[in-house]
A = this chain, B = another copy of it.
Amino acid sequence: MTKRIAILGASGYTGAELVRLIATHPSMEIAALAGDRKAGEALGTVFPHLRHLDLPVLQKFEEIDFGNIDLAFGALPHGTSQEIISALPGHVKAVDLSAGFRLRDPAVYEQWYGAPHAAMALQDEAVYGLTEWYRDEIREARIVAGTGCNAATGNLAVLPLLKDGVIDADEIIISLATGVSGAGRSPKEGMLHAEVSEGFHAYALTGHRHMAEFEQEFSKVAGKPVTCTFVPHLLPQNRGILATIYVKGEAEAIHAALEKAYADEPFMVVLPLGEAPSTRHVRGSNFCHLGVVKDRREGRAIVFSALDNLNKGSSGQAIQNANLMLGLEETEGLMLAPMFP
């Protein structure tokens, strides 16, 4: 039976990507769209690429009738999100794409996000939405917290290695590059085309918030506190994240650990040993490509992880989780092949 979906925060890029994906999802229909600033407008005006779709008009959150909504996606800023998700009726499941429910420890949340957690009751039942690692809990969850897009990219590559103990947990360096859509649609000088194109630089030099998700998940899997070096860079492209991860360990064992971890996963592609992925080959899709290359230095390897930040890193992951929560086939609506070129 078709599930009725509400998207809260439909005027941002992750909201638009949810709509794009649900447009061809065989078991979901969009029953409500909330977007406070754009309430009253058609989504086709806000996002002309969606103008062929027959969609409900954007409403204010409080105007939505949640009576027959099965699941809501929250694509809102993290502060707002905690409050809005808390206000949902109990029968509505939720996948929140913000940072609102990603961190289990409220002190850590406050440290990185600069404000106390506003919905601790819900936090305790929220499941971290890294599907391949929390599938069983997600299936039973009412609230799932979408991961950070950078966090997903790194965690998917590193967790199997920590689990199998094939790398030195104290020597992990994540050198990551991301496209601009992760920064959202709010106008900022640094995100103008003239500022971004034909250039490359590192950002968040005093620490990127997704670091908290690395530490949380690395430590959980390793069974001890683990931190790492994490330097994100901004790419002159719209979509895609590539994490280049420098580790201590044998390339063969690392590659075997990844193959073992993801042998039956529909969206995880482990390349042959010695090959490296490209963001362009996962663009617009829910696939994550992993690669392992032997370093020239003995006992070291480089692990690569590539995904589309708006899709597998965010809206695709959210639908994958929603499929599980709604008892649908996990891959429904998500088998779109990447778009290249």
- The answer to whether B193 touches A180 (Cβ under 8 A) is yes
Given contacts A192-B185, A195-B341, contact A201 B246 (CB under 8 A): no
- The answer to whether A269 touches B52 (Cβ under 8 A) is yes
> In this complex, which of A211, A229, A280, A336 has the most chain B Cβ atoms within 10 angstroms of its Cβ?
A280
Given contacts A280-B201, A337-B49, contact A185 B177 (CB under 8 A): no
Copies in the complex: 4
Residues 192-208 of A, flagged 1 when their CB comes within 8 A of B and 0 if not, give 11111111111101110
* Of B48, B192, B202, B244, the contact of A304 (CB 8 Å cutoff): B202
Residues 250-285 of A, flagged 1 when their CB comes within 8 A of B and 0 if not, give 000000000000000000010000111111111111
Q: Closest CB of chain B to A293's CB: distance in Å?
A: 5
Assess whether A72 is interfacial by the CB under 8 Å rule.
Answer: no
> In this complex, which of A20, A191, A201, A275 has the most chain B Cβ atoms within 10 angstroms of its Cβ?
A201
Assess whether A236 is interfacial by the CB under 8 Å rule.
Answer: yes
Assess whether A335 is interfacial by the CB under 8 Å rule.
Answer: yes
- The answer to whether B269 touches A205 (Cβ under 8 A) is no
- Which listed segment binds B: A79-87, A111-119, A139-147, A295-303? A295-303
Given contacts A192-B185, A197-B237, A236-B193, contact A49 B281 (CB under 8 A): yes
Question: In the bound complex, what is the Cα–Cα distance between A233 and B293 (angstroms)?
Answer: 14
- The answer to whether B177 touches A192 (Cβ under 8 A) is no
Assess whether A50 is interfacial by the CB under 8 Å rule.
Answer: yes
Assess whether A130 is interfacial by the CB under 8 Å rule.
Answer: no
- The answer to whether B336 touches A24 (Cβ under 8 A) is yes
Question: Closest residue to A195 on the B side, CB-wise?
Answer: B341
Q: Which residues of A contact B (CB under 8 A)?
A: 13, 16, 19-20, 23-24, 47-53, 173, 175, 177, 179-181, 185-189, 191-203, 205-207, 211, 227-231, 233, 235-240, 242, 244, 246, 269, 274-285, 287, 289, 293, 295-297, 300, 302, 304, 306, 335-341
